[in-house]
Structure 1
Amino acid sequence: MARVQESVAEPPVYSLMQKFGTLVDGEKEQFDAGMEALKAAMVVVVGNADALQGWTAAEVVKILNPVQGVKFLAAVARFQLQARRWGLEKDAERERMEADDAMF
Structure 2
Amino acid sequence: MGAIKLALYPRNQIRKSDVARAVSVPARITILKEIIAEGRTNGLYLAEVLKLSQPTIHHHLMTLKSSGLIKGDFFNESYYWTLNHECEDELNALKWFLED
TM-score of the superposition, structure 1-length normalised?
A: 0.23
Which is greater in Rg?
1
Relative contact order (alpha carbons < 8 A, sep ≥ 6): 1 or 2 greater?
A: 2
More strand by share: 2
More helix by share: 1
